[in-house]
Chain A
């Protein structure tokens, strides 16, 4: 089956955030031009059309408007009518000019990286915008009619207090957007925070998470995935492709994809990519691995998976083959088996590794 989703990576950033481990480079005009050429070349080999397209980064909106438009126009051709067309943006790059390009190109979902409402922690993360500027960016996007907005929230900074986080929750809810992605800070190798040996306190993160879950649910958001909250009708269709463990295409520097039973990743080396090098890692997914991936992704979802879907995909019944693990997991309060579905409990979502290890 042809993938229904496409991920496109734009690696450029105007500033490098101190926590980010995605493939990225500082914006340089000559690279940006060659990159867009190489990317369009890669895109021309993908047939499409897609139900969802997601342009991520880096910072896609770090591109000059004209270059961005070139990319988005090419992508628009590959989108099915009624498809979801998302793009990531930073508050300071959401100028009227860029917003115009987005609307004009058919982008219908915007994901804005804001992270925190605290000026102190924005600085800690290496963000260059203020929270006021972020608020303005959200308002501007809404004014342009782009109201299907996600904002990224981050928590668990070393030393972050309950009060600080409570304020973040309140401020983010006040943005009144239909989708919030909330991530605990992860310290990844190769980032500035890793180099200065920042450490995250998992217990505090768990407390923050619980506080946040309660607040967001009260405000009418559903937690449909570990870190994703949406008002009814606003789940990210593209990301659900990942969590349903379905195949998807990918293009651009360091982009990871999954098609024809093969998980792959493009080179993370910019000059190699510009020379036409593409896939650098490939992993054929065995039947056994396929099941593992299926659990890893689907159990991130609050609704888990339908037992009938599992049987259709793998040819045997989950509840039979995994009877012992299911019993252990339900006894530990990690898994619920109800209404023909296997789904993680609230506890199981936080202890997903534990749940997965029982199933492995």
Chain B
């Protein structure tokens, strides 16, 4: 039985961190009876601990609920969650493409926050109907008039149809549900047309294979159907379809306008990238849905176990993570300094953070990450070209004709008054100016070509601080261009530490080398003997700092009262040592390998 699509509303919720998105979603689920209060785990859409702690949503989710509206009809609401970081903007755009509308939650005590804008613009790009929801009106410091004014002036949305709510107390939330019915358009599409279903997320289930979350744009799909994935050309037989309310409930079919899940014994999550279009093998659609982009890792770093005996454990853990994360890639590599490990590809730095924390927390591994690198192309004198993800693999100089690095086409939207600082930043980062567009009275879009390697080093954070948080950044890979690059090696106690090598822009090499060696001097604890830290290019030392030998570490006094405290301190140090890696005879803490990242070129 296909549900009348006039009674379906598909929407997502956009909000700045802490503006109350999760609480509002909880209220909606509660009011629509999807979950009883008793069952309601706080903020149930964010299911991973990590997400809850960091206040960000990484993994998308979708929930189907029914709502008995005042007009006497019962509606189906599909609430589709989105993550909120530049690393994941493509996924956000695919989730939004599954919706007709969005709730924009704004905290009445704080007003519009700059970071929300990027997702609002994605929603506008996807032609969504946006309903402003002004939250936290129960707080004495709330200022509804100001929040409305900011929504109108900063985003350019009318607040005529906005809702005033307190997600915490539930006040105003029923009104939101009515507005969803009233304002968000019902899905369109041809029920009898050839199937077009948009995959906007997926996860791995050990029993059923990959579970794809889909939005049916046209046609319908049921178990037994032979489906074709239009981007990768593979076919499967559907084993199960259903909705999530939020528990999974199998249904007979999913039809045009509906949102649900689909299983088809798909083994590899890489077969169902977000944005992929499902159609029927025997009655295929003429073309796939627009907007698909193949997700490729943008940055790579080495991951090594601190204890080399844990290599297999790390391999297992990565194998499990990759089941649920189509954007992650890994392959074995080895380092003279760190032994056996993996070169892992990520979408961006936040993605690295998330994976690092999951490996440490969920898999209880002590790991070392090397500094992130982009993928370089190296033209060799023998006429061949190699791809380089690990700087230490760079061949010797005489064999290299040219090194090319990936550039991205970046669009930075910023309030007019910050154009100067933003241009300065892009220039510092070797940006090539392309265009400047006046978006409206207050905002400007700057277009630059930037080396990706410069973008991954703190660019986003620096951009945010240069614009008091108001700039937004979007970028996609443009092309590879030749640059004046060189490999900078780091020597500890005279020995090259391969995992500390990086590819640098020649003109910045001295400065970066100097910063890096002094940073390493500060991070690496003093050892039994003096350790020189050197930066070298082509075997020529360009910077040096010395770690002095420790001469004394004993506490002068140790009587009754001090001794328990002292023991705890020593135990803490012992723990810290476990997280260090002996490189030659030097004990190097974990963070040293990432220290390249912490160097701020813009100061």
- Chain A interface residues (CB < 8 Å from chain B): 7, 22, 182-184, 186, 202-203, 205-207, 209, 226-227, 239, 242, 248, 250, 254-258, 263, 265, 281, 283, 289, 292-293, 296-297, 300, 332, 349-354, 356-357, 360
Say yes or no: A289-B567 contact (C-beta < 8 A), given A255-B560, A297-B558.
yes
Interchain CA distance A95-B488 in the complex, whole Å: 70
Interface centre among A254, A297, A353 (most CB of B within 10 A): A353
Say yes or no: A206-B560 contact (C-beta < 8 A), given A296-B566, A353-B570.
no
Say yes or no: A360-B552 contact (C-beta < 8 A), given A255-B560, A265-B561.
no
Interchain CA distance A255-B556 in the complex, whole Å: 19
Taking CB atoms, residues of chain B closer than 8 Å to A356 are: 570
**Is B554 in the interface zone, CB < 8 Å from A?**
yes
Taking CB atoms, residues of chain A closer than 8 Å to B232 are: none
- B553 to chain A: closest residue by CB: A353
Say yes or no: A283-B553 contact (C-beta < 8 A), given A296-B570, A356-B570.
no
A257 close to B560 (CB less than 8 A) = yes
For B550-580 the 0/1 string (1 means CB < 8 A from A) is: 1111111111110110110011011001000
Taking CB atoms, residues of chain B closer than 8 Å to A353 are: 553-555, 570, 573
Taking CB atoms, residues of chain A closer than 8 Å to B552 are: 184, 202-203, 205-206, 209, 350-351
Interchain CA distance A201-B564 in the complex, whole Å: 25
Interface centre among B548, B555, B556 (most CB of A within 10 A): B556
- Selected from B528, B554, B560, the residue in CB contact (under 8 A) with A250 is B560
Interchain CA distance A256-B561 in the complex, whole Å: 5
Within 507-543 of B, Cβ neighbours of A (below 8 Å) are at 528
Q: How many Å from the CB of B169 to the closest CB on chain A? A: 42
Q: How many A-B residue pairs have CB under 8 A?
A: 95
Interface centre among A209, A332, A356 (most CB of B within 10 A): A356
Between-chain CB contacts (< 8 Å), 13 pairs:
A184-B556, A202-B551, A202-B553, A207-B551, A226-B555, A226-B556, A256-B560, A257-B560, A292-B570, A296-B566, A353-B555, A353-B570, A354-B528
- B554 to chain A: closest residue by CB: A352
Taking CB atoms, residues of chain B closer than 8 Å to A256 are: 559-561, 563-564
Interchain CA distance A73-B577 in the complex, whole Å: 51
A239 close to B554 (CB less than 8 A) = no
- A352 to chain B: closest residue by CB: B554
Say yes or no: A360-B571 contact (C-beta < 8 A), given A202-B551, A296-B563, A350-B551.
yes
- B576 to chain A: closest residue by CB: A357
Interchain CA distance A186-B567 in the complex, whole Å: 17
Taking CB atoms, residues of chain B closer than 8 Å to A296 are: 558, 563, 566-567, 570
Taking CB atoms, residues of chain A closer than 8 Å to B550 are: 202, 351, 354
Interchain CA distance A202-B525 in the complex, whole Å: 14
B556 close to A183 (CB less than 8 A) = yes
A203 close to B551 (CB less than 8 A) = yes
Q: How many Å from the CB of A334 to the closest CB on chain B? A: 9
Q: Which 5 A-B pairs have the closest CB atoms?
A: A206-B551, A256-B560, A352-B554, A206-B552, A256-B561
B559 close to A242 (CB less than 8 A) = yes
Interchain CA distance A207-B574 in the complex, whole Å: 27
- B555 to chain A: closest residue by CB: A186
- Selected from A209, A239, A281, A357, the residue in CB contact (under 8 A) with B570 is A357
- A202 to chain B: closest residue by CB: B552
Taking CB atoms, residues of chain B closer than 8 Å to A206 are: 551-552
Taking CB atoms, residues of chain A closer than 8 Å to B558 are: 226, 242, 296-297, 300
B563 close to A263 (CB less than 8 A) = yes
- A350 to chain B: closest residue by CB: B552
Interchain CA distance A352-B570 in the complex, whole Å: 11
A226 close to B570 (CB less than 8 A) = no
Taking CB atoms, residues of chain B closer than 8 Å to A248 are: 560
Interchain CA distance A248-B561 in the complex, whole Å: 12
Taking CB atoms, residues of chain B closer than 8 Å to A207 are: 551
